[in-house]
Chain A
C-alpha cells in the first residue's frame, strides 16, 4: 500500500489568511484525493487531483477556495484560501492503487481564529 507523508500536522491560522497542505506519496499514483473531516464526523471528498490536468471538485467546493496543485505523480498540495472559522477541520489526502486499496495521510488539523 502507498505510504503518504502529510504536513503540517496542525496549524492555527488567522482568518483571511491561507494555508497550504502538502502530501508526498512513496510511489507514483495516477490520482490523489483530498478529504475534509469535521470532528466526530465522516470524511467528505473535496476534490480529485489528477497529474497534468485541473482538479475535479465535488459539489460545495470550489477552486478559488481550495486550489490544488499536482505537479507530478507523487506530490500534491491543497490550499485553504481566505480562511474563516468555518474552515476549521481536519484535512486528509489519500492515494493508492486499484488493486491494493487506498491509504490516507496523517491529516492536518486546522484551527482558524
Chain B
C-alpha cells in the first residue's frame, strides 16, 4: 500500500518568514495530494490540494508543488503569521471507484514565533 513520509516533524519560524514542509510518497499511482491543518483540539481542515496533472498550485500565502518523477510534494507558507501555528498533515490518494482513500503523513508541528 501507499506510504507517505513527512519532514520535518517540528518547525519553528519567525513571523513573516516562510515555512516549507516536505512529503514523499511511495505509490506512483497516487494522483491526489491534499494538505490539512489541525489546530489543537480541532478537526483537520483542508487548506489546499493538488492533482497529478499540475505541478504547482497557489492560494494566497499558501502554495503546493508536486514532482511526480521524484514522488514528492511540498507545502510552502509565505509571510507566516502566529495563526499559522498548527499541525500540518500531507496525504496521498489513489482513486478508488468514486472516492479516495487518504494515506496521511506523520504531521509537522509548525510554530510561528512573534
Contacts and interface: CB of A to CB of B under 8 A. Distances in A.
B73 interface: no
Interface of B: 34, 42-46, 49, 89, 95-107
A85 to B, nearest CB: 21
A45 interface: yes
Interface in A83-97: 92, 94, 96
Interface stretch (A12-20, A60-68, A104-112): A104-112
Interface string A58-85: 0000000000000000000000000000
Contacts, number: 53
Interface of A: 1, 29-31, 33, 41-45, 48, 92, 94, 96, 98, 101-107
A31 B101 CA distance: 10
Contact of B102 (A1, A30, A41, A102): A102
Given A42-B105, A43-B89, A102 B100 contact: yes
